[in-house]
Structure 1
Amino acid sequence: MLLKLTKNFGINKLRKLSLRLILVVPFVLQIFAAVGLTGYLSLRNGQRAVNELASRLRGEVSSRIDQHLDSYLETARHLAQVNGDAFDLGLLDPQDLEGISHYFWKQMQLYNVGYISFGSKLGEFSGSGYYMENTAIVVDYVSPKRYGNNNSYTYQTDNQGNRIKLSSSFPDYKFQKEAWYAETVKAGKPIWSQIYQWETAPEILSVSANSPVYDKNKNLIGVIGIDQRLSLIRDFLCQLKVSPNGKTFILERNGLIVATSSSEKPYTIVGKKPQRLKAIDSSDALVQASAKYLTQHFGDLSKIKNSQQLDFLVNGQRQFIQVTPWQDEWGLDWLVVIAVPESDFIGQINANTRMTILLCLGALVLASLLGMYTSCWITQPILRLSKASEAIASGELNQKVHESAVNELGVLGQSPAEDLSRLYELALKGRVKAIQDQVDRLAQSDEKLTLFAQEIRQLAKSFKIEQIQVFIQQYLTNN
């Protein structure tokens, strides 16, 4: 029986690791993995949010520009048709230049247009509108029959549209050579003119909705022109809040700028004459880069048939761009472009991401410290118990193990080392009855000690005190 009890129960010799390390490392690794995953998802979701926000913003801005162009340019088309009907119905007389100009002056009070004109086949001209940007409305006349020359005379008006004072004159004004008249006569139908500068004010870019006027025999009487100043489109683009550094601009298919939200003018002065500006030659870096990218990407701007959202890099910085064709039934064919730097969106998202990462790192540090503290709290009583067990195994049976606040560790601290120590002390004192009682308690607390308890009882009944002492020491040494 003694040989069976003192036998080593096949405990393999494994590589020993610190309990503190076993407790802390997995805990820290889990926290680190959670922090890393949180940071990665935060970055990924941030980028996705940027893409979705940029896409939605470009779509909304493009839609607003389309609506404005529809409304602003439809006004000119509508007014050209109305005035054409007025001539057809006899409400306007091609020979009554003052009556025509007064009628046009009235319309200027009602419609958002830049200038309304009529030029006859005979060289007579009557018009009303803004002479310069946002000035008072004037009336103009060209009448070789009345004045004996082709000069244009501009008159100031009162609040009823009656001319009151000659404001200025422009010598030898040949409106027949201007795009609004010449192109309409050639087309023989309502059309938009090419974009052009006013003769009297070359700094003003305009596009004109024009309609030819014929008599009952289909002979040309003249042309009605409704000018829309492109500067008002530019003003609208400037009012749109795209992003801190975003730009909106409108192009013709040949790459010439119609209007832009940047501060530059859509033309340059070459030899005292205005020359329209191409977007690829713009002084605005984003407008220029966007135009170059579109040209390189499509090869030819005329190939753009539907709205597209793209992105490209400028000096390593990502730029979002949307290009949308805008057309109408009279022949205008423009491209609406919205360009927005990614940095306009990513700033706040990056700040939020950095804050998330810092909070995660803080949580990692705090969790690591708590893990180390918890491991120390758990391992200290275990280490004390381990040292006490080693001392008992060495024959120092007078060991005391402090009770732990952890219930399971408290049970370990109480058995079996401390109980065996008491049993050994009783054997030294020769208290057989007390030995038997202690053995009974040991057998009840741990089934593994049943054989051990039976052997002690047999030795106690025979009063073999010294053998009890030796047996306890051997048991502790081997277990």
Structure 2
Amino acid sequence: MVSKALKRRSVSKQLPLHLILIVPFVLQIFAIVGLTGYLTISNGYKAVNAVASELRNEISVRINQQILIYLEKPYIVNQTVASAISEGQINLTDIQALERYFWRLANQNTVDFLQVATFEGTNVLIERLPEGFIVARSADKSILPNRKSYRLDNRGQRVELLKIQSFDPRTRPWYKAALQAGQPTWTEIFIASANSSKATIALSELIYSPTGKLLAVQSSNFRLLKIHEFLKSVKVGHTGQTFIIDKAGNLIASSVIKEPYKINDSKLEQIPANKIENSAISLTAQALFKRFGNLSLIKDNQQLDFLLDGKRQFVQVSPIQDGRGIDWLSVVVLPESDFMTQINANTRTTIFLCLAALIIATVLGIYTSQWIARPIMFLSKASESVADGALYQNVEIFRIRELAILALSFNRMTQQLQESFTNLEQINHQLEQRVEERTSELKNTLDNLQRAQTQMIAEKMSSLGQLVAGVAHEINNPVNFIHGNVHHLSNYSQNLLDLIQLYQTEFPNLTSKIQEKIDDIDLEFITEDMLKILSSMKVGTERIREIVKSLRTFSRLDEAEFKQVDIHEGIETTLLILQHRLTANAKHPEIEVIRDYANLPLVECYSGQLNQVFMNILINAIDAIEQVKAERTSKEIQHNCQIRIRTSAINLDWVEIAIADNGSGMPVDVQQRIFEPFFTTKPVGKGTGMGLSISYQIIIDKHNGKLNCFSSLGEGTKFVIQIPVTQELNKKVETAII
């Protein structure tokens, strides 16, 4: 009774159901309404950003296309004139014919200026004036250094002499620029004439005869006022601006400034955009320099924003390049305020509607929670009775369908609860017995498999060691016999050759039979080749003795005790055995082995088993290098086939051996399984999947060390072995038992 009273007291301190229903409901409504408002406002800003970005991009594309059209016309005109003069269709000495030809091109409204000048100073210029009519300014040899200006009628004929003035085209920027560049090129911005205030840029080109002789310089001028008029016609929101600057930051043209330059003593001086009086242009230029530092770094379209008088400005910068010297930047400045008026109005309406929805939903939530909470309270009391042991409880069927179903289910539950408890206890007991039996069986099976695998590996290693040792022993005796007698045979042969030479010296007059025999056996060749053969035999027997020694060192697989060995000797022995795989063959060029050995102490280990680990890892490295042959050219393979072996000491107690190749590497899923028994990625018949598994057991279980693999696709694989210098006694005993 006391415990029940304490439980009721603790329950009474918890929150009532109607409050739990009301508070989360109201909080959910509040969160949903707030989130809706936030998303509405946020989407509004995102929409502004998206529209501004799209509009900036469209305007920039339009500006760049039109500017390139403006710049392309002078190039087409120059090509037309140069072709006509080079092919002899026009004679440079026929000034009036040149005037009429140029007039036809200018009358098509392609360029503002069209002129040509020879090295003698003769020149012809056709210019369309802002007033609408076309004038011709020309000079032949008879009037040099002066030039006459005529007004032309609508047929290109001279109708009025306007003036005569001194003029030398060879001093003009367009003439000098073409000679200096040697190809079609744009000049710097300049004033067309001393009496003009219009900024001009010219595309100059050298004209050659069919034989390659330089005839004249052709130029088509283009007034920058056209760019200003075009930029002015482009609508950028309500208050936006556009302008053109060069990579040095100087203003070329603007939609709001007609003449963005100064003229001092008939010379044009460009104004940096960041020092212009227009705040939008100057602050935009400052923002560009702050963002990029050097405007030459802008290679493609860039979008950014900055604050102007506390108001956000959207900016897009796009490069303009025609491939003939023009390297400008078009800049579009779009104020955020052009978009935000309607967004702000929608935001206020959204906030008002969200607050109204919140109030209405809160009132409905309170009423609904009370309607639901009453029936649940009855079910709660009945549940408390069941918890107290009174299983047979019947509750009233409510008018709410879900609660009515719940009441019926509760009544059935109380009737079946006792029976269910009994059945559950029986089933639980049976399951526990089955789990214990199956766990015992699985444990026994796993132990048997592990013992069988360990025994199989041990027997295989022992048999292999005995076989290798036996083969090495059988080969060693005859090889030693041959090697020991090669030296004596070499001395005997040398003595015989010396004796033959002495005979030839003492008895130079040989009989015909002896001379015939000497010629028949080619005694001179035998004398030279015999010593070479004996030297080769000596080198071969020494090589066989080294291989036999390596096989005997490698075959220590059946040694049952730890011994102090030189790790480097084991590595070199393994490399010697694998030498046939490292030398160049049809599958790959020579594989370079890079050794980075540190001074290591003697290490207590099973030397034969450790050599087997080196063998398995090196074979995998060679296979990985052979695998990438099809993916690389022979030149790449020749310079990249490498295996790097590095050894180092760690805190005087451990040594580390790292073996890395530059093969194709492994994906992550393969790395996670490489030490599993029978797992292999090699073709059928080339690998069993046991090499790295055995190596892992040798390092981890037999030597209490560490074996890790690090690999990345396309960068190769590295295996890192760490083993202690000395083995503790308890670890020796444990390893021997295993």
Deviation of 1:17 (Å): 9.5
CA contact (8 A) 1:322 1:339 kept: yes
CA contact (8 A) 1:23 1:375 kept: yes
Match of 1:62 in 2: 60
Deviation of 1:234 (Å): 1.6
CA contact (8 A) 1:152 1:169 kept: yes
Deviation of 1:210 (Å): 1.5
TM-score calculated relative to the size of structure 1: 0.70
Correspondence 1:222 to 2:216: yes
Which blocks of at least 5 consecutive residues in structure 1 are unaligned?
A: 1-7, 382-405, 409-479
Correspondence 1:157 to 2:152: yes
Deviation of 1:144 (Å): 5.5
Structure 1 SS opposite 2:135: strand
Amino acid at match of 2:330: V
Correspondence 1:266 to 2:264: no
Match of 1:72 in 2: 70
Which blocks of at least 5 consecutive residues in structure 2 are unaligned?
A: 375-397, 401-738
Deviations 1:412-447 (A, max 9, x none): xxxxxxxxxxxxxxxxxxxxxxxxxxxxxxxxxxxx
Paired with 1:373 and 1:272, the residues of 2 have a C-alpha distance of: 87
**Among 124, 127, 130, which residue is 2:128 paired with?**
130
**Which residues of 2 match residues 6-405 of structure 1 at below 5 A?**
14=12, 27-131=25-129, 133=130, 135-143=132-140, 145-146=142-143, 149-153=145-149, 155-166=150-161, 168-169=162-163, 171-215=165-209, 218-270=212-264, 274-368=268-362
Deviation of 1:244 (Å): 1.6
Amino acid at match of 1:174: D
Deviation of 1:87 (Å): 0.6
Structure 1 SS opposite 2:75: helix
Structure 2 SS opposite 1:165: strand
CA contact (8 A) 2:202 2:222 kept: yes
Match of 1:419 in 2: none
Deviation of 1:109 (Å): 2.3
Deviations 1:214-254 (A, max 9, x none): 34564433211111111112222122222122221111112
- Stretch moving more, 309-318 or 264-273: 264-273
- Stretch moving more, 309-318 or 355-364: 309-318
CA contact (8 A) 1:252 1:258 kept: yes
Q: 1:378–1:331: structure 2 CA closer, same or farther, 3 Å change rule? A: closer
Paired with 2:270 and 2:141, the residues of 1 have a C-alpha distance of: 33
Paired with 1:120 and 1:328, the residues of 2 have a C-alpha distance of: 27
Deviation of 1:378 (Å): 11
Structure 1 SS opposite 2:156: coil
Paired with 1:11 and 1:57, the residues of 2 have a C-alpha distance of: 69
RMSD over aligned CA atoms reads 3.6
Match of 2:706 in 1: none
Paired with 2:334 and 2:271, the residues of 1 have a C-alpha distance of: 21
Q: 1:360–1:94: structure 2 CA closer, same or farther, 3 Å change rule? A: same
Amino acid at match of 2:160: K
Q: 1:65–1:211: structure 2 CA closer, same or farther, 3 Å change rule? A: same
Structure 1 SS opposite 2:146: coil
Paired with 2:99 and 2:87, the residues of 1 have a C-alpha distance of: 17
Amino acid at match of 1:157: L
Structure 1 SS opposite 2:142: helix
Amino acid at match of 1:38: T
Deviation of 1:103 (Å): 0.9
Amino acid at match of 1:109: N
CA contact (8 A) 2:316 2:332 kept: yes
Paired with 1:170 and 1:34, the residues of 2 have a C-alpha distance of: 84
Paired with 2:265 and 2:220, the residues of 1 have a C-alpha distance of: 29
Higher relative contact order (CA 8 A, sep 6+): 1
**Identity rate, percent:** 38
Amino acid at match of 1:128: I
Q: How many residues align?
A: 382
Q: 1:358–1:190: structure 2 CA closer, same or farther, 3 Å change rule? A: same
CA contact (8 A) 1:264 1:283 kept: no
CA contact (8 A) 2:116 2:125 kept: yes
Match of 1:403 in 2: none
Q: 1:348–1:174: structure 2 CA closer, same or farther, 3 Å change rule? A: farther
Structure 1 SS opposite 2:217: strand
Deviation of 1:47 (Å): 2.1
